[in-house]
């Protein structure tokens, strides 16, 4: 059973590294700042750690894993909403009160 867990973690790690490399290459083409990659990396890393905890089999760790995976989705949604809002403010040159 431990070997299956290690295989699952290895697959997660490979998926994380490939995703990070693809995102980095994609953002380079748009000359995006490294801060944007940091936000994406934080969300992706939080999700991967949470999913690994969900695979552990320990009830307490599974609960923490669910929290981390849900938090990464919430963080990404909030980040996107804030980006859209700030983009609109900049586009329309509106000064928030």
- 84 found inside a domain: yes
The number of domains in the chain is: 1
Residue 23 lies in domain: 2-92
Share above pLDDT 90 across residues of the chain, in percent, rounded to a whole number? 9
- Which one has a higher pLDDT value, 34 or 44? 44
Residue 5, pLDDT > 80, answer no
**54/1 Cα distance (integer angstroms):** 15
- 63 found inside a domain: yes
The predicted-structure confidence for 11-42, as pLDDT tens digits, reads as follows 888 988 888 888 888 878 777 667 777 888 88
- 97 found inside a domain: no
- 81 found inside a domain: yes
Residue 1, pLDDT > 60, answer no
Half-sphere exposure of 30 (CA within 13 A, CB side): 9
Share above pLDDT 70 across residues of the chain, in percent, rounded to a whole number? 92
pLDDT for 26: 81
Residue 55, pLDDT > 60, answer yes
- 11 found inside a domain: yes
Contact 46, 75 (CB under 8 A): yes
């Amino acid at each position: 059973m431990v070997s299956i867990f290690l295989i699952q973690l290895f697959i997660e790690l490979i998926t994380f590294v490939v995703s990070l490399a693809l995102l980095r290459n994609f953002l380079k083409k748009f000359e995006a700042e490294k801060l944007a990659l940091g936000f994406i990396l934080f969300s992706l890393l939080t999700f991967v750690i949470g999913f690994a905890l969900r695979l552990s089999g320990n009830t307490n760790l599974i609960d923490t894993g669910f929290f981390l995976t849900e938090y990464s989705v919430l963080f990404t949604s909030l980040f996107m909403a804030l980006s859209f809002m700030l983009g609109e403010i900049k586009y329309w040159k509106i000064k928030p009160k």
